[in-house]
Structure 1
Amino acid sequence: MRFATPLSALVSLLCAAAVHAAGPVPLDVFVPRITNPTAGTVWVSNTTQTVTWDASNAPVNISNGALIMLRHNNRTAPFILAKGFDLRSGSCPITVPWVLSDDDYEIVLFGDSGNFSPPFTITSDTANAGQTTA
C-alpha cells in the first residue's frame, strides 16, 4: 500500500503536466448580429415574438449554451426569455414579459459572447394582450 500512494501521486503529476502542456482549450467565438428586433420594432407585453440573428458564419460547435435576456436602461433585467436553444438556428420564439412601456429595451443574445439588439419599444397595453405582432 505504501507504494500505491507515491505511484498515484506521480500519475496525477504527469496528467497535470500533460494538460498544462496542451494549453487551454480554445472556445468558439460567435457574435451574431441580431436582426430582430430592430430600432423601429414595437412589441406588446404578453405576446409571442421571434428573436432572430445572422447565423450564416456560425461555427460547427458552440462551446456554451444559449440564452436570451431583456435589457432596459443599460441594465440587464432578470428576465430570461429563452435558454438552451441552438445558436446555429438563427431564431428563437420568446414571450414578451409584462414590463412598463418604454422605448429603451434591448435583447441580449448570449452564447460564447453577448450581443445586443438596437433599442426598441415594448408597450404594456393590456387591451392588446395575447396578440402577436411582427
Structure 2
Amino acid sequence: MMYFPKISMSTIAMIATGVSLLALTSVDAAPSPHTLAVRDVWAPAITSPKKDDVWTIGSIVSVQWDTANPPNQVTNYNGRLLLGYMDGSGNENLDTEHPLAQDFDLRDGKVDISVPNVPSKDSYIVVCRSLSLAVVSLSNCRAVIGDSGNSSPEFTIA
C-alpha cells in the first residue's frame, strides 16, 4: 500500500510559484536575439460615439477619433476596434473574440461599422487599439505586449 501525504492548497500554490520563479530566472547559454525596443503607444481620443448617443442594431455608424499629434515611435498604424460595456466595477468587459473592425489605418481618424446584435444596454463603450506587438526578452522568459487603447464615453445600443 502506498502512502500519499496530505498537501494543502497553499503548499501546492507555493511550489507552483517557486517553479515559475525558477523558470523566469534561468539563463540561456547564448544571449537572446530579442530585446526591448522603444515603442510609443498611440491611444487617440475617441470623439464619436459621444456620451448618451444611441446606436440601432444593424445600422451603419462611424466611430471617430482625434488624429492630431501621433507619437514619433508608432511602429504599426493598424487598428482594432472592440466593443465593451461598463458594469460599475471599472471592468470594460471587452469582446476580444468579435472585434467591430480590424486592420484599419489609425491615421484615417474613423472607421464605419455595422452595429452588432447585442442585448440592449446604456453602458456600452468602444476601445480603439493598435495591433502592434513588441517581443520582450527577460532572460529565458519571452512576453508579448500590445499597445493599450482608450475608451469612448458610455453610449446606448438598442
CA distance, structure 2, for counterparts of residue 62 and residue 82 of structure 1:
20
Aligned match of 2:108: 89
Choose between structure 1 and 2: higher helix proportion: 1
CA distance, structure 2, for counterparts of residue 29 and residue 49 of structure 1:
26
Q: How does 1:1-134 map to 2 (within 5 A)?
A: 24-59=36-71, 62-64=74-76, 65-72=78-85, 73=87, 74-77=92-95, 78-111=97-130, 112-123=147-158
CA distance, structure 1, for counterparts of residue 107 and residue 148 of structure 2:
14
- Checking the alignment, whether the CA contact within 8 Å between 1:52 and 1:90 is kept in structure 2 is yes
- Per-residue CA distance 1:75-106 (angstroms, 9 max, x = gap): 11233010011111110111110111110100
Aligned match of 1:7: none
- Checking the alignment, whether the CA contact within 8 Å between 1:62 and 1:87 is kept in structure 2 is no
What is the total number of aligned residue pairs between the two structures? 107
- Checking the alignment, whether the CA contact within 8 Å between 1:49 and 1:95 is kept in structure 2 is yes
Q: Secondary structure at the match of 1:76?
A: coil
CA distance, structure 1, for counterparts of residue 93 and residue 63 of structure 2:
19
- Checking the alignment, whether the CA contact within 8 Å between 1:43 and 1:122 is kept in structure 2 is yes
- Checking the alignment, whether the CA contact within 8 Å between 2:39 and 2:73 is kept in structure 1 is no
Structure 2: tracts of 5 or more residues without a match: 1-29, 131-146
Change beyond 3 A, Cα 1:61–1:51: farther
CA distance, structure 1, for counterparts of residue 82 and residue 155 of structure 2:
14
CA RMSD across the alignment: 2.2
Q: TM-score, normalised by structure 2?
A: 0.60
Structure 1 stretches of 4+ with a deviation exceeding 3 A read 59-62
CA distance, structure 2, for counterparts of residue 96 and residue 63 of structure 1:
30
Q: Secondary structure at the match of 2:58?
A: coil
CA distance, structure 2, for counterparts of residue 114 and residue 79 of structure 1:
16
Q: Secondary structure at the match of 2:100?
A: strand
- Checking the alignment, whether the CA contact within 8 Å between 1:48 and 1:95 is kept in structure 2 is yes
Change beyond 3 A, Cα 1:90–1:61: farther
